Structure 1
């Protein structure tokens, strides 16, 4: 009984469920249940007040095997998490259950943890099924414990919430995540006071009076000044995605204004900018869907690198560390530029010739002294950039 999962995804399953574990006096809940069926690995945890399950779709070769489940004891969660952090996120980890041991295997190391195979975990699938089938009462208004609400931040997801009744569990859905939360029954030493929406609203009648002026949080809140100067790269995922898409649209529009024949480098530059930004957007979107917290971490890290102005040095070092040859790339580029400088008109001369032609077409009278950079082609009646003369020995 074994499956494979990369270190990052396994760490993510643990992080999303660890805060929901039960205490040491309820042994079946004092840990994270790792549950494998024909298609997924699930990490499940509960302290009876909240219940959380995160899943990972199995690789093709791991699908279809006999289901198995084992509880990773809470006392070992920290050591497993540190073991995972010490390796590259893409590194493959094999989970194996042998002789009452849960074994995490990686290419260079392995971690073995004693487990109790007979430890029964609640029927978490049945619990979720029952909560999902709850009928919705009229105007439910449950009391929720704010301390427990903070646990859901560990998902790193936008969550959708279904409320069905005052005294029944709230159901939450995220990306490959499902959770449930019981309503609060006690406040301090006594029970929670029964309350309806109308009674709660009446306590704030001085500001919620029906005859007062209403406002909308979408349309009536101040917006960020789009013209305010910004001197730092954004660390916000959504703003980064917006900027990438904007650059794609700008560059694909500008390519139509660039002259392929007269300024081919500019034409290709627009193409490269559009392609690079579209690729970056798709990668960011995929990463954010897979792991919003990692996407936010990467965006913030990249923003700091951009602000430092040293991305060229980082790219060079990263290329070398990855086994590439940046010196070869540099030499090839320098040779290309030297060849271009020797055989083609200067780029500024090309743009000057285009400007002179535009001025002529606009009826502007001007004169240009004879020079080695631009010349008037009498036959074509156009200004053109002049190719450099071959260097003499």
Structure 2
């Protein structure tokens, strides 16, 4: 059964633009894209990266209202081509979006576009998540209007805390050795925010969110990233997490292997020690200069991804005035001596 909705090019572009920055990682397939969700009244564009969630909606024409609900996720890899296709037509041009067996078909005034989609992907219960949050936010009267362009100026890579005192009071922003404030936008109940009170805004979404679960939550554990084993993150916080996990896991793996498998014990011991050293050095660098720490993490991620760390280490040793050729000779001699010792022990045991 084919289901479809009609929307003009300008509005479809706005739906995508409002949510595209909230898409999840390429390693979380259900979230790596934009979800088109249709009920009997609206077409929604939804995206989430487990930490943020964004929903934009467009009220359907009367001819499309009352239809059977449906939803499909547009894979992130197709969004650029879709956006370029939309920009190639006039804003008022009508686009019909319809479902096929495993595709989404976009029919425009002059050209059509068809993309493959995975119909079985489970997307979070975004209605339930936001329903719960809005119901919990009904206490209090504070509902200031903030210019999102000004908010973006506080994005300097740090974790921030915020406190809003009142509708006509500034938003206070705190970060490490940083303090800022943003005044609310005064408006007369018109563009850019027509909802003059939280109660009005809440009511305008009640119909949409009523279909969501009362107990839904933004639980990131339900959508864990499945990174390849060789993949290295360039995010400084994730890097610290990986180093701490390595330290603890190697420490746990050391137990019970000192006698049975001494080589494995030593490997786990070295991994734990190196993981802890790397974390402490990274933490110290971050406390001194967060930007330098982030830059180093990104550079190291590129180096590890190249698979040439042996060459990098060799060059770094020579640049520092060491002799890696001597180290290599000493290591080979150590391996030969160790092999002779193991052979002698085997002969003695026989």
TM-score by length of 1: 0.46
Cα gap change, 1:258 to 1:170, in 2 (>3 Å): same
CA deviations 1:17-50 (Å, max 9, x no partner) are: xxxxxxxxxxxxxxxxxxxxxxxxxxxxxxxxxx
What 5-or-longer segments of structure 1 have no aligned partner? 1-136, 347-371, 378-383, 387-393
Alignment RMSD, CA only?
Answer: 3.5
Which residue does the alignment assign to 2:277?
279
Which residue does the alignment assign to 2:44?
none
- Conserved? CA contact 2:236–2:297, under 8 Å: yes
Number of aligned residues? 212
Aligned equivalents of 1:283, 1:337: Cα separation in 2: 31
Cα gap change, 1:178 to 1:341, in 2 (>3 Å): same
- Conserved? CA contact 1:141–1:197, under 8 Å: yes
1:331-370 mapped onto 2 (5 Å cutoff): 331-342=329-340, 344-345=341-342
Aligned equivalents of 1:191, 1:151: Cα separation in 2: 19
Which residue does the alignment assign to 2:143?
141
Cα gap change, 1:215 to 1:238, in 2 (>3 Å): farther
Aligned equivalents of 1:314, 1:285: Cα separation in 2: 23
Q: 1:263: Cα distance to partner?
A: 5.8
- Conserved? CA contact 1:185–1:192, under 8 Å: no
Aligned equivalents of 2:221, 2:261: Cα separation in 1: 46
Aligned equivalents of 1:215, 1:296: Cα separation in 2: 37
Q: 1:192: Cα distance to partner?
A: 7.4
Cα gap change, 1:200 to 1:337, in 2 (>3 Å): same
Which residue does the alignment assign to 2:241?
242
CA deviations 1:109-160 (Å, max 9, x no partner) are: xxxxxxxxxxxxxxxxxxxxxxxxxxxx953211111111110012x11111
- Conserved? CA contact 2:189–2:196, under 8 Å: no
Q: 1:276: Cα distance to partner?
A: 0.4
Q: 1:217: Cα distance to partner?
A: 3.6
- Conserved? CA contact 2:246–2:272, under 8 Å: yes
Q: 1:281: Cα distance to partner?
A: 1.8
Which residue does the alignment assign to 2:219?
219
Aligned equivalents of 1:220, 1:281: Cα separation in 2: 24
Cα gap change, 1:194 to 1:248, in 2 (>3 Å): closer
Q: 1:273: Cα distance to partner?
A: 1.4
Q: 1:291: Cα distance to partner?
A: 4.5
Q: Which has the higher contact order (CA 8 A, sep 6+)?
A: 2
What SS does structure 2 have at the residue aligned with 1:203? helix
Aligned equivalents of 1:158, 1:315: Cα separation in 2: 33
Which residue does the alignment assign to 1:251?
250
Cα gap change, 1:340 to 1:314, in 2 (>3 Å): same
- Conserved? CA contact 2:285–2:293, under 8 Å: yes
Aligned equivalents of 1:247, 1:315: Cα separation in 2: 21
What SS does structure 1 have at the residue aligned with 2:342? coil
Cα gap change, 1:222 to 1:292, in 2 (>3 Å): farther
Q: 1:286: Cα distance to partner?
A: 3.5
Cα gap change, 1:288 to 1:325, in 2 (>3 Å): same
Aligned equivalents of 2:179, 2:270: Cα separation in 1: 41
Q: 1:221: Cα distance to partner?
A: 7.8
Q: 1:255: Cα distance to partner?
A: 2.5
CA deviations 1:151-192 (Å, max 9, x no partner) are: 0012x1111101001111111110111111111125899997
Structure having the higher helix fraction is 2
What 5-or-longer segments of structure 2 have no aligned partner? 1-138
Which residue does the alignment assign to 2:15?
none
Aligned equivalents of 2:328, 2:200: Cα separation in 1: 72
- Conserved? CA contact 1:175–1:289, under 8 Å: no
Q: 1:280: Cα distance to partner?
A: 1.2
Aligned equivalents of 1:162, 1:243: Cα separation in 2: 31
Aligned equivalents of 1:140, 1:266: Cα separation in 2: 59
TM-score by length of 2: 0.51
CA deviations 1:316-374 (Å, max 9, x no partner) are: 111221222323322322232233233x115xxxxxxxxxxxxxxxxxxxxxxxxx984
